[in-house]
Amino acid sequence: MVVLYDTGERKDRHVVWHCRCDCGNEVNVRSSDLISGHTTSCGCYNRERTAEVKTKHGMARYGKQHPVYDAWTNMIQRCENPNHNQYKDYGGRGITVCAEWHDPVVFIDWALANNWRKSLTLDRVNNDGNYEPGNCRWVTVKVQARNKRNNHLITFDGKTQTMAGWAEELNISYNVLKQRIDQYHWPIERALTEPIRGHKHAS
């Protein structure tokens, strides 16, 4: 990757440089991504790696179409391809993939040893943390949705979870609970414990 010139654009207070990839393609890259090494190509490296690991040398032991491979590809693209539509929420804010997981076979080994099933998705426990064994798990789409960084977390009686989690646990409509807290500004205890008329909370 060769830096050609400053585009004059700024993203998150970082200079955006116009660069030429070794393959000849030209892309705009933030200075922070160049310095950190998060971006080393226009995405061609990942495409080449994808083709490579789908051959008998990379994926023979699992088969070329192993479903975990798609999760691996999406993870790499979100974190390392500035042209990916979700890059700004991952690589663009500093989320990286650990060195060992750049090998898809190692990632698949980890997945199969850590409760992967077709119905589950890859989730980071700490949304500000990286993709690495100690910070990742396989969960349902529902659980992953509750772990988004823009979720409203509520602490009550020593327990913290999302508003959706409290609504389900207490058998209260999510919309009712949201209205109590966000619109009427009820205290948390009242919002969570006051029964709805003709309705009892689950015990």
Q: How far apart are CA 128 and CA 146, in angstroms?
A: 15
Instruction: Place 7 in a pLDDT band, splitting at 50, 70 and 90.
Output: confident
CB 3 within 8 A of CB 34: yes
C-alpha dihedral over 185, 191, 194, 199, to 10 degrees?
110
Summarize pLDDT for 107-151 with one digit per residue, the tens.
Answer: 988 998 998 988 888 988 888 889 999 999 898 866 665 555 455
Q: How far apart are CA 50 and CA 197, in angstroms?
A: 57
Summarize pLDDT for 79-118 with one digit per residue, the tens.
Answer: 999 988 888 888 998 999 999 999 888 898 899 899 898 8
- Percent residues over pLDDT 90 in the chain: 15
The whole-chain average pLDDT of the chain stands at 78
For residues 14 and 96, which has the higher predicted lDDT (pLDDT)? 96
CB 59 within 8 A of CB 85: no
Q: How far apart are CA 89 and CA 148, in angstroms?
A: 11
Instruction: Place 203 in a pLDDT band, splitting at 50, 70 and 90.
Output: very low
Query: What pLDDT, on the 0 to 100 scale, is given for residue 186?
Result: 92
Q: How far apart are CA 118 and CA 203, in angstroms?
A: 33
Q: How far apart are CA 108 and CA 62, in angstroms?
A: 9
- Rounded mean pLDDT, 4-17: 82
Query: What pLDDT, on the 0 to 100 scale, is given for residue 97?
Result: 93
The residue to which tokens 């020593």 are assigned: 158
- Rounded mean pLDDT, 23-32: 80
For residues 64 and 137, which has the higher predicted lDDT (pLDDT)? 137
Among 30-34, 48-52, 70-74, 156-160, which is the least confidently predicted range?
Answer: 48-52
Among 71-75, 129-133, 185-189, 199-203, which is the least confidently predicted range?
Answer: 199-203
Instruction: Place 202 in a pLDDT band, splitting at 50, 70 and 90.
Output: very low
For residues 199 and 93, which has the higher predicted lDDT (pLDDT)? 93
Query: What pLDDT, on the 0 to 100 scale, is given for residue 200?
Result: 47
Do you know the residue count of the chain? 203
Residue 106, H or E segment: helix 104-113
